[in-house]
Amino acid sequence: MFRRLVVLALAVALLAGCSKVTMKNYAKLKSGMTTDEVNTILGEPDSCSEALFVRSCEWGNEKRNITVNFVGGRVVLLSSHNLK
């Protein structure tokens, strides 16, 4: 039983450490990049919305995230919250 708990705890720690929502990855993002280029760096977004020709996608959660706005499939605005 103890062995299973240790394996489970290690798996959770590894998955938590695999987040692509980091300052290092945020620094790789540039205006003009395509959606595919951003997805290569950050993976698929956790959510997206669209209004007035602007597609806004978010990676992460409300505590730590990266938000990218696209117009015509290209980055026009980047923002982040609480990255380390």
Q: Is the pLDDT of residue 7 over 60?
A: no
pLDDT for position 29? 98
Task: Give the tens place of pLDDT for each residue, 24-76.
Answer: 999 999 999 999 999 999 999 999 999 999 999 999 999 999 999 999 999 99
User: Looking at residue 24, what is its pLDDT?
Assistant: 96
pTM of the model: 0.78
Buried b (16+ CB within 10 A) or exposed e, 45-84: beeeeeeeeebbbbbbeeeebbbbebeeeebeeeebeeee
Residue 6 has pLDDT above 90, yes or no: no
Cα–Cα distance list, 68 to 3, 6, 8, 15, 25 (Å): 42, 37, 34, 23, 13
* pLDDT recorded at residue 3: 64
Per-domain boundaries in the chain: 20-81
CATH number assigned to the domain covering 20-81: 3.30.1450.10
